[in-house]
Amino acid sequence: MSASSAARHSLANIVDSMNETELDQLPHGAIQLGTDGTVLKFNAYESKLANLKKESVIGKNFFKQVAPCTDVKEFYGKFREGVRAKNLHENFRYHFAFKQNPRDVTVTLFYSPTTGTVWVFVKPLDGK
């Protein structure tokens, strides 16, 4: 196992083991998605950033129902490729075009081999 592969596996173990309270304390948005794009976890930071209640997004498809602006090659395409390969660690800038709170952010897509899910980490570029 390479050093970068070991580091990704370690990160997966840490984030996958976090409970809801611990996820809510993260200083950035954290969303766990099933391989079909269904939202499994949605932390408090992301709820505030997106102006969406956690309860209203859990169980919905992130790309079709929660943030349809992400249903593009630059985002959903990377997600699909990573799920297919079971290997994903991508960082990129993105513009969330939410009506009430549009934001430029840095997105990290991360496939967890431990749970077979994808984590989406979102951090605003303006630091808010």
pLDDT of residue 127: 59
Say if residues 118 and 35 touch (Cβ distance below 8 Å). Answer: yes
Average pLDDT across the chain, whole number: 89
Query: How do residues 39-96 score in pLDDT, each as one tens digit?
Result: 999 999 999 988 899 999 999 999 999 999 999 999 999 999 999 999 999 999 999 8
CATH of the domain at 97: 3.30.450.20
Q: How far apart are CA 105 and CA 97, in angstroms?
A: 11
Which structural domain, as residue segments, surrounds residue 97?
3-124
Total-model pTM: 0.89
pLDDT of residue 50: 87
pLDDT of residue 11: 65
Q: Domain count for the chain, please give it.
A: 1
Residue 96 pairs with which residues in a beta bridge? 103
